[in-house]
Amino acid sequence: MKKIYAIAALGLLLYSCSSNQNTGENTDTADAVTATASSFDEPHRPQFHFTPPSGWMNDPNGMVYYKGEYHLFYQHNPDSTVWGPMHWGHAVSNDMVHWKHLPIALYPDSLGMIFSGSAVVDISNTSGLGTKVNPAMVAIFTYHNAEQERVGKNDFQTQGIAFSLDNGRSWTKYKNNPVLKNPGIRDFRDPKVSWYEAGQKWIMTLAVKDHISFYSSKNLLDWKLESDFGADVGAHGGVWECPDLFKLKVNGTNEEKWVLLVNINPGAPNGGSGTQYFIGSFDGNRFVMDPRFEAGLNAKPAIATAVNGQEGIWLDYGRDEYAGVTWANVPDSDGRRLFMGWMSNWNYANVVPTEKWRSAMTVARTLELENTPAGLRVVSQPVQELQNIYGDSYTFKEQAVSDTLTLSGNVPFTSSTFDLQLDLERLSPDGQFAVELSNNQNQKVLIGYDAARGQYYIDRRKASSNSFSDNFAGIHYAPRLATDDSFPVRLLVDVASVEFFADGGKTVMTDIFFPDEVFTKIRLIADKGQLRLTSGIIHDLKSIYASAEQK
């Protein structure tokens, strides 16, 4: 990233000269972009994942629910399909599936580009930026001052805020930005702010080079350092970025735990960027790991955690989930912890073969805490709202599978966008399987279980020529935490991606691919030992652009 930040410094200079947005105020009233099939049907354009209409996108930012809308802001370079001067793009949704694109929310200004961050609704008007009747939506983000970086300063990343009094439609930068200055550390960014009810204060979880710093504030404007966490635990193959901190109940118990998500780049188990996490307690001052979780983290070899020798416990072991964080302000009556990540990897994000836009987000997912044979873990599942785009469905009858079973072709199912759910039972200890997605050019992706390794995998070596990057083709592995003979697996396949939820979401992998023709053939391959398909269903997932009208 350092390299591209430097290139972007030049880009920002050029940009600033031609832009009039340095006042820090955005009163853009341009109409929302209407997404129609005709404008969203380019090669490789995902049909049910969020993508920007055009230009570059990376991290999801400022995810907040307010008045019936899920807001999704995102790192955005509107003028190019490569990373550059960062803005916050903006979209809203009623169901986290259909999105309405809104005008850019935050533009770079004289303090810097607008890097990643979060948003809250200041219900009690602690900041005084709104009123109790009309609370402010407050965005807390990192200013990255490329000019200061260029001249060799270390304190070029600071935290700023902006607020909106009209449901995120227009934004005003706070006049006394930055609200948190930099103590002289080059990597000091990605504030995730949440309300800590027990202490009646805001907590900012900040990524600081190789650790997390927790700050607190009564008013979102004045921040005080509480503590640091993590310099000596977890994965440290790269810089820590985009953290999140939230409370979850352990399924089936009344126990509450705190989950700390820490994105890291590079250093993920399959290379490049990834999301690791820690489970523990938080008292408004300090995060302390749960001893049971810590034992699993430190065990060498860690029980079902080490992939390719990499330490850490990961939310998603695929190569293409990064910078994932959760929505703020989801009502208690809903009660879900809702997550979304960027579906790419810094190893090759800038060169993937799309022309008009670059990158998609994952589907929205729920996060829950579960006791697994490997210890306490976060399990992820796609949100149930995905059913809003279910088309035709086909069920597969119970049967033994000893070679291959065609799941498309002999059933009238030809879609390249689907939700495939299979319950498989292993009939011998060396039983293994793969779901193969392929096209007429014999390009393919395999998603399966390797019995010898005891690991799940995605193999995209033959997905296409993969010629855009030397770092793209490969097989990616993930631990299996369950130990029994039943393998419930679920695959969400879009034009250019697969999200793989195994064992009820205990193991998750996300990978992207760029075949020359979409994958419409689906086969279940069961070699080495028999396998029984106990039940199975495939749902066509309809394009979210099927109708110009957003739900």
Q: Which residues, listed in sequence order, are joined to residue 87 by a DSSP beta bridge?
A: 76
119 makes contact with ligand FRU (CB under 6 A): no
CB of 418 to ligand FRU, least distance (A): 29
4 makes contact with ligand FRU (CB under 6 A): no
Binding ligand FRU (rule: CB under 6 A), the pick from 26, 51, 58, 510 is 58
CB of 116 to ligand FRU, least distance (A): 3
End-to-end CA distance of the chain: 37
Output 143 or 500, the one with its CB closest to ligand FRU.
143
115 makes contact with ligand FRU (CB under 6 A): yes
Residue with tokens 């991606």: 497
**109 classed as catalytic:** no
Angle at 242 between CA 174 and CA 272, to 5 degrees: 140
Determine the size of the site formed for ligand FRU (CB under 6 A). 13
Binding ligand FRU (rule: CB under 6 A), the pick from 87, 189, 444, 523 is 189
Helix (H, G, I), strand (E, B) or coil at 142: strand
Beta-sheet strands, E only, within 418-527: 418-426, 433-438, 444-450, 455-459, 475-479, 486-494, 497-502, 507-512, 521-525
Cβ-proximal residues to 175 (8 Å cutoff; 6+ apart), any chain: none
> How far, in whole angstroms, is CA 466 from its chain's centroid?
23
Binding ligand FRU (rule: CB under 6 A), the pick from 95, 109, 149, 190 is 190
8 makes contact with ligand FRU (CB under 6 A): no
Helix (H, G, I), strand (E, B) or coil at 38: helix
Binding ligand FRU (rule: CB under 6 A), the pick from 149, 241, 370, 436 is 241
Contact 144, 156 (CB under 8 A): yes
Spell out the SS3 assignment of 319-368. Answer: CCCEEEEECECCCCCCCCCEEEEECCCCCCHHHCCCCCEECCECCCEEEE
Binding ligand FRU (rule: CB under 6 A), the pick from 118, 126, 142, 415 is 142
Footprint (CB under 6 A) of ligand FRU, residues 289-348:
323
Q: Which amino acid is at 273?
A: S
242 makes contact with ligand FRU (CB under 6 A): yes
Residue with tokens 């939230």: 246
Spell out the SS3 assignment of 289-322. Answer: ECHHHHHHHHCCCCCCCCECCECCCECCCCCCCE
CB of 329 to ligand FRU, least distance (A): 21
Question: Which of 6, 513, 511 lies closest to 272, judged by CA?
Answer: 511
Output 50 or 196, the one with its CB closest to ligand FRU.
50
- The residue annotated as part of the active site, out of 28, 31, 41, 59, is 59
CB of 84 to ligand FRU, least distance (A): 9
CB of 181 to ligand FRU, least distance (A): 17
64 makes contact with ligand FRU (CB under 6 A): no
CB of 8 to ligand FRU, least distance (A): 9
33 makes contact with ligand FRU (CB under 6 A): no
- Alpha carbon distance 268, 265 (integer Å): 7
Output 117 or 515, the one with its CB closest to ligand FRU.
117
Enumerate binding residues for ligand FRU (CB under 6 A): 1, 58-59, 75, 86, 115-116, 142, 189-190, 241-242, 323
Residues acting as catalytic residues: 59
